[in-house]
Structure 1
Amino acid sequence: MRRLAIGDIHGGYLAMLQVLERAGFNAADDLLIGLGDYVDGWPDSHEVVRYLMDIQNFKGVIGNHDLWFIDASLKIRDNGINVDELYHSFNYNWVSQGGEATLRSYGKNVESVDSHACFLAQLPGYLVVDDKLFIHGGCPDWEALPQALPEQTTYALAWDREMFYAFLRENRKNPADLRGFSECYIGHTSTSRLDKTLQPVSCNGLWNLDQGGGWEGKLTVMDIDSHEYWQSDIVGTLYPYERGRG
């Protein structure tokens, strides 16, 4: 069984299908590990979540955009979705950061909101596979790994950026920095401004697989055992009539 990690999808169903095809993903034989932010940005959040729910060998962590959607799902259940009143009815920060596309996606599929929100809500804040750690954002108290993990809130793990920035700043080379983990995989912080080639960024075992797929970057899938990776086209080219989060 291959073990594949996928970066932030952000409603980019076409990009997800493309990169999984390029990776030769076999849903029956391969394990797919999601790094969070499955929704918000591109127009197909409903299709993304539905696809992931159908994969038996799927594991994933929850992202900050997924948390926003879960919060909104309660209001959707009570009041439905009025596409003409999105900015008045829902969290402005969320709607302006890709939530509008998610609401429009579920406006056609309101009956799926509860089950999809429940699916996302059961995803953990962090995941350990063998000696590899998966988090959406990072661990705020990363210097106290692994003991600090159970003490962190899901919100903190989904929103943290300091762990990634700390590894970048200090360019650490001591494997002990991950304190018992051989590798850590994150998303959340797009690397598109750090590396214009849009390749995955690695700092001493810390892999960031968010190459701006929620914006005008690419969606990345990586084999966590061989580090071979595959990428979609620039996601915006797959949605030429959509503005995404731009």
Structure 2
Amino acid sequence: MPKTFVVGDIHGSYRALLQCLEKSRFNYQKDTLICLGDVADGWPETRQAIDELLKIESLIYVLGNHDFWALDWMDTGYANDTWLIQGGQATIDSYEDKVPADHFQLLKSALPYYIHRNELFVHAGISIESPIERQGIQTFLWDRSFAQLAKKKHPQKLTSYNSIYIGHTPINKNTPIQYGEVWMMDTGAGWSGRLSMMNIETQECFVSDPVPELYPGIEGRKKI
């Protein structure tokens, strides 16, 4: 039976992505992978990570704030200083001279959020003060207050969704944490942590090695 998985912020860690896909025995033709955004920036293999994602027949890609920056560079050639010091230079270097059209299209067509069977997938967070349809992209890309509120109110639920999966706010744990209905999926792959992937039906997690161990001698965003 086809399975559905969700993966946290990859941040150029192609080798960690491969480990998660292999450990989960992910089927590229039958299974679905929901990415919570931020495939770009930090570790040196953004291009390779996107190449791998594009092999997946059923891929749901949710836009992250780093993807938003990378998309602007892909579209205009402009790289702002904030993006560069937050890992953008590694993305530029991974492409060398040219960005493939399908890489640009993946980020351009990325979803602001995704709802599946009353389960919400969003990069950063939402507001509980208004319907999601009325909220702006900046909340979905940048918010951290929702993650903080979920932790504060645990085990109380914040919304009517069965589950909510978010990235963006890294946690200091080796596996995802659940607060109420909120799963925090970013286990720090963009820094010194690991990449985590979860089967949403069984809640079984598949976790990479610490990403710095997969890129010896490369600082990534650890140096910031």
Larger-gyration structure (1/2) = 1
Aligned partner of residue 59 in structure 1, secondary structure:
strand
User: Does the 8 Å CA contact 1:10/1:41 hold for their aligned counterparts?
Assistant: yes
Counterpart for residue 33 of structure 1: 34
1:186 deviates by 0.3
The letter of the residue matching 1:178 is: T
The within-5 A match list for 1:233-244 is 233-244=209-220
Q: Do the aligned residues in 1 keep the contact of 2:28 with 2:55 (CA within 8 Å)? A: no
Q: Give the AA of the match of 1:142.
A: I
Structure 1 counterpart of 2:94, one-letter code: S
CA RMSD of aligned residues (A): 1.4
**Cα distance, 1:143 vs structure 2:** 4.1
Distance 2:169 2:143 in 1: 9
Partner Cα separation in structure 2 for residue 29 and residue 115 of structure 1: 21
* Alpha-carbon distance between aligned partners in 2 of 1:20 and 1:116, rounded to the nearest angstrom: 20
Matched, 1:165 2:166: no
Q: Could you list the per-position Cα deviations for residues 192-233 of structure 1 after superposition, in whole angstroms to 9, with x for gaps in the alignment?
A: 2xx4xx221110110011000011100001011111101000
Unaligned segments of structure 2, at least 5 residues? none
Corresponding position: 1:201 with 2:177: yes
Shift of residue 149, structure 1, vs aligned partner: 1.2
TM-score normalised by the chain length of structure 1: 0.86
Matched, 1:103 2:84: no
State the match for 2:169 in structure 1.
189
Q: Which amino acid aligns with 2:138?
A: Y
- Which residue pairs with 1:178 in the alignment? 159
Q: Percent identity?
A: 35
Q: How does the TM-score come out when normalised to structure 2?
A: 0.94
Measure, in 2, the Cα distance between the counterparts of 1:91 and 1:150: 30
Deviation of residue 111 (structure 1)?
4.2
Code of the residue aligned with 2:26 in structure 1: it is: F
Query: Does the 8 Å CA contact 1:69/1:117 hold for their aligned counterparts?
Result: no
Corresponding residue for 2:69? 68
Instruction: Give distance in 1, aligned partners of 2:95 and 2:73.
Output: 11
CA distance change for structure 1 residues 138 and 104 in 2, over 3 Å: closer, same or farther? same
